[in-house]
Amino acid sequence: MSRVLATYNIKGGVGKTSAAVNLAYLAARDGARTLLWDLDPQGASTYLFRIKPKVKGGGRKLVRGRSDVERLIKGTDHDRLDLLPADFSYRHMDLALDETKRPTRRVAKVLAPIAGEYDYVFLDCPPSISLVSESVFEAADALLVPLIPATLSSRTFEQLKKVVGRDGPQVLAFFSMVDGRKRLHREVMESLGGNGVLRAAIPAASDVERMGVRRDALPVFAPRGRAALAYDDLWREVRERMPAG
């Protein structure tokens, strides 16, 4: 059975896609059979792997269980790493889910037929609280939550833990887009550090921005950069908490 890890935050632009792409790449590089499902209609992960953001039949057919998910999966340029692409129709996924029975179980149902094929499944989620995120919470073993170390991040984190509840997935938060020169960042990290937030912190580095230009995972084109090393640390920490099932 695969471990399902979802990068999630209610806010956009916090480093979800970078985390999903780089961690999925590192999992595959370590030898794990890995799938990344780009659930965000903007399709940033899909774009980064140079794959067309198109799912035959769209999101509605997929969540209703009418698509053969195995035929929708695309191989990336990297061994053992596959992608279930984004589709612009995912912007209406909430509505599509609402039309189904037990909508919060739908993401897990889509993944069920391919559970044996992968050691890890990463879900790159759109920023929102919606039926999509509820369905993701139900499918995921852990949420990977990037936090920008600003004043509201501790509140966001606490809120999220409350939403997920005790029976939900593990919440693994980590600091993202960290600017060590900013006093506020340092202070927030100090105050939240050790309080359920992982040790590895992803810096705000130009390498991460270059992913969009290079259209590839960071460890491929800047493996010794600060950001790539930070993702290495992050993956090691996540893997310790979530060994392949």
Partner 1 sequence: MPGPAATQYLLPDGMRLAGAGDVLAAHLVVQNGSVRAADRTFYDTFDARLRDAGAALVHADGRLALLDPGSFAERAGEPCAEPPGRLFAAELAPGGLRDLLAPLTGVRALTPVARVRSRERAMRVLNDDAKTVVRLTVEEPALVGPGRRRTPLPPRVRLEPVRGYDKALRRVRGVLENGAGLRPAPFSLVDEARAAGGAPCAPPARVPLRPGQRADEAVAAVLHRMLEIVEANLPGTIADVDSEFLHDLRVAVRRTRSVQRRLAAVFPPEPLAHFRDEFRWLQRASGPARDLDVYVLEFDGFAAAHRQRLEPLRGLLAAHRRAAHRRMVRALRSARAARLLSEWRAFLDDLPAAAADSDRPDAARRVDAVAGAEIRSVHARMLRAGAAIGDASPPEPLHDLRKRGKELRYLLELFGGLYPGRVAGEMVRSLKSLQDALGRFQDRQVQAATLRSLGDEVAALDGGADALMAMGLLVERLEEEQAAARAEFAERFAAFAAHPGRALVRETFA
Q: Which of 13, 31, 65, 196 binds partner 1 (CB under 8 A)?
A: 31
DSSP one-letter code for 201: E
Task: Decide if residue 52 touches partner 1 (CB under 8 A).
Answer: yes
CA dist 11 to 47, 54, 137, Å?
Answer: 20, 25, 16
Q: Please, are residues 131 and 101 in contact by the beta-carbon 8 Å criterion?
A: no
Q: Which of 12, 65, 75, 223 binds partner 1 (CB under 8 A)?
A: 75
Assess 80 for contact with partner 1 (CB under 8 A): yes
Based on the shown chain and the rule CB under 8 A, indicate whether residue 11 belongs to the binding site for partner 1: no
- Annotate 30-89 with three-state secondary structure: CCCCEEEEECCCCCHHHHHCCCCCCCCCHHHHHHCCCCCHHHHCEECCCCCEEEECCCHH
Question: How many other β-carbons are positioned within 10 Å of the β-carbon of residue 6?
Answer: 25
Asked whether 143 and 110 are in contact (CB, 8 A), the reply is: no
108 binds partner 1 (CB under 8 A): no
Q: Residue 49 or residue 137: which is nearer to partner 1 going by CB?
A: 49
Q: How far is the CB of 120 from partner 1 (least distance, A)?
A: 12
Stretch that binds partner 1, among 47-55, 100-108, 123-131, 222-230 (CB under 8 A): 47-55
Given the complex with partner 1, which of 49 and 231 has the nearer CB atom? 49
Cβ atoms of 162 and 168 within 8 Å: the answer is: no
Judged by CB under 8 A, does residue 28 bind partner 1? no
Instruction: Decide whether 33 or 60 has the Cβ nearer to partner 1.
Output: 33
Cα 17 to its chain centre, rounded Å, is 6
User: Which residue in the set 3, 33, 60, 106 belongs to the binding site for partner 1 (CB under 8 A)?
Assistant: 33
R_g of the chain, CA atoms, integer Å: 17
Q: Which of 23, 48, 51, 136 binds partner 1 (CB under 8 A)?
A: 51
CB nearer partner 1, residue 185 or residue 239: 239
Number of residues that bind partner 1 (CB under 8 A): 18
Bridge-based pairing state of the strands 74-75 and 81-84: antiparallel
212 binds partner 1 (CB under 8 A): no
Q: Enumerate binding residues for partner 1 (CB under 8 A).
A: 31, 33, 49-52, 71-75, 77, 79-80, 82, 119, 215, 244
